[in-house]
Amino acid sequence: MKLQTTIDIPKSALQIEHTDKVMLLGSCFADEVGEKFVRGGFEAMVNPFGTLYNPASIAAILLRCISQDECTEVFEDKDGVWHSWMHHSKFSAHSKEELQARINSTTQAAGDFLRSADVLIITFGTAIIYRLVENGMLVANCHKQPDALFTRQRLSSYDIVDQWQMLLTLLESINPKLRIIFTVSPIRHKRDGYHINQISKGILLQAVDELMAPQPPKGACWRLDSNSIPNSTYPDGRPLGGSGASYFPSYEIMLDELRDYRFYADDMIHPSPLAVQYIWERFQDTFFSNQTKDSVLKAGKEYARSLHRTLIN
């Protein structure tokens, strides 16, 4: 008797080695997986600007890393603390200059890392974005400011694909060796209701699917409904499309394999540590060789020992 739906995930042609540099950007699920990479001994940069939930904000941050433009989207709250609309509150400071210095320093470091990284893992959380009423500027972090300051908008899959096709091309131009993995966060966004959450997740899944679709070579024009599109790949076996991006079904694993509420944290929104560990093991099976798995296991034990403190009576 089979009592569980298992997501079939074939071994990916994109294999991550223990010596690879990995950058992770996106929702708080990216933080969870990023911690696994760090504990596994990888050289990893995890959400250097803080949690980013929607594709537009992630794209804006990546473009900032590439262009190295200085931070200007800052404001002072009623307590005299300066914040950035595009960055986590960990950057907030008591002066505009200190805030901008922190952000610009991190942008420089993240840009340098991105240009030499081997793998970029992107986790989309929601298709809902917020903009300032005043000027329409995209906001990644509302910093608990009044709702009246913002307008809410739901991206379409077309909006996401249009922006990210350009961005993938740009990423390939600055770092040709960079390999990209997309995933959709299994964390539910309850603020707008569970029905809207499902619609949002569907938009993200459709957008990623379209970004993975084969792209015509330069000078050619293929119809999307054409039966003549070849099953093309890069020389190393990666699928042709965008920058040879891959997809890992975190959302599907949580929804179908781990559908029991015992796999959720107490808030019934986030995956439990057990669920995160299970998804991490499925990720390893997909993208790691046995040798890499062994290296990760060894590094994890060393990390655990480093946290151990001997009690002295």
Residue keyed to tokens 């040879």: 244
pLDDT of residue 138: 95
pLDDT of residue 237: 40
Give the residue ranges of the chain where pLDDT is below 70.
Answer: 3, 214-244, 308-313
Widest pairwise Cα distance in the chain: 75
pLDDT of residue 226: 33
pLDDT of residue 234: 38
Residues 154, 157, 160: CA angle, nearest 5 degrees: 85
Q: Where are the domains of the chain?
A: 21-216+233-302
CA distance 260 to 234: 39
pLDDT of residue 53: 94
pLDDT of residue 260: 85
* CA 189 vs CA 5, 84, 164, 193: distances in Å: 24, 23, 22, 7
CA distance 138 to 253: 31
CA distance 40 to 22: 12
Query: What is the third-level CATH fold of 21-216+233-302?
Result: Rossmann fold (3.40.50)
**Are 200 and 154 contacting, i.e. CB atoms less than 8 angstroms apart?**
yes
Residue keyed to tokens 């903009």: 131
